[in-house]
Each structure stands twice: as structure tokens, then as C-alpha cells.
A = this chain, B = another copy of it.
Amino acid sequence: MSVGKSIRILRIGHRYVRDYRTLTHLCLVSRALGAEAVYLEEIDDGLLEGIREVNESWGDGFQVLKVPSWKSAVSEAKKEGRTVIHLTMYGLPVQDKVEELRRSSRLLVAVGGPKVPAEAYQLADYNIAVTSQPHSEIAALAIVLHELQSGEELKKEFGPAKLKIVPSEKGKKVEKLA
């Protein structure tokens, strides 16, 4: 089942590739919550392998893609007619803009961090905040994906997989499909 929107994620920020754990979480959250792909300027082999294994075990379709620069990814996205949202604690509250944002069926969500160039704020169509308090870019991304898709992303069915969880009240039930 498609959630009906095409959402891609872009990581902006200097040397983020060294924070391997956060980057893996960024990719997994993007995948689990209905995005199609994450764009990165630098890709680590371990990261690619990790995502490939998750796709294989839990359902295919999500991509991690290398881009020459975050700016080229933003300008490509604009050419494709995507609305570009930059997540930043300095932006406008997500709850005030979400109805407007939901009108876009094609989006690029740029996830920043401490070292985002000032230009990113200018190039984005929207600078959006999930609270103006410091917390986590992973949490902010999760809430924005959830709001953009009105919660429909939680019902997404994934492609052919080896493993599938059967939701249960207590304990762990996993079906092995391959």
C-alpha cells in the first residue's frame, strides 16, 4: 500500500557521517515512516550494508542515495516539483503549517543539525520546528513524517520480506516468510 505521497529525506550538516548510530536511525526512521529514500553526501559501507539487510529481512523498497552536495539535492528536488522543508528549532511551528504542507504530494525533508549552512534556511520553501526546544533531529523527523501523512504511514505495508511481526498484547510473535 502506498501512503500516497512521495517523501524523500536529505541530511544536511558537516561530517555527520562519523555519527554512524544517529545516521542509521535517521535512515531506519525514514524507511519505517513512509519515506522512499535518504540522500547523503557521504555514505559509509557499514550503513549501506545495514540498510540492505533491513530491506531484505523486513521488506524492500527503501533507498540510501549519494548526492554530490546537499545543495544539488535541493535544486534537483525543486526541479521535480518537490516542496522543500528544512527542519530546525528556529523555524515556524509544525502545527501552524501542517495543513499547508499536507497539500504537497511530493516533498523533500531536509534534516539539519548544529552546523547547517545559513543558505539552507534561504533555499528551503519552509523552515519548520517541532517545538523550539533542543531535542533530537530523529524525533523531529518522526513527528513531521507522521503529521505530513496524517498518521497513515503507520499502516504502510512493506514489500516481500523474510520476517513479519504479528502484533501481540504480550511477548513476541514473528512469522518467518522465507
Contacts and interface: CB of A to CB of B under 8 A. Distances in A.
Interface of A: 19, 21-22, 25, 28-29, 31-33, 54, 58-59, 88-95, 118, 121-122, 127, 129-136, 138-143, 146, 151, 153-156, 158, 164-165, 167-174
Please give the count of copies of this chain that the complex contains: 2
Which secondary structure dominates chain A's binding surface?
mixed
Contact of A92 (B31, B90, B167): B167
A129 B167 contact: yes
Contacts of A140: 142
- The 6 A-B pairs of least Cβ separation, nearest first, read A139-B142, A132-B165, A32-B135, A25-B136, A32-B133, A28-B135
B136 A28 contact: yes
B167 A31 contact: no
Nearest to A174: B90
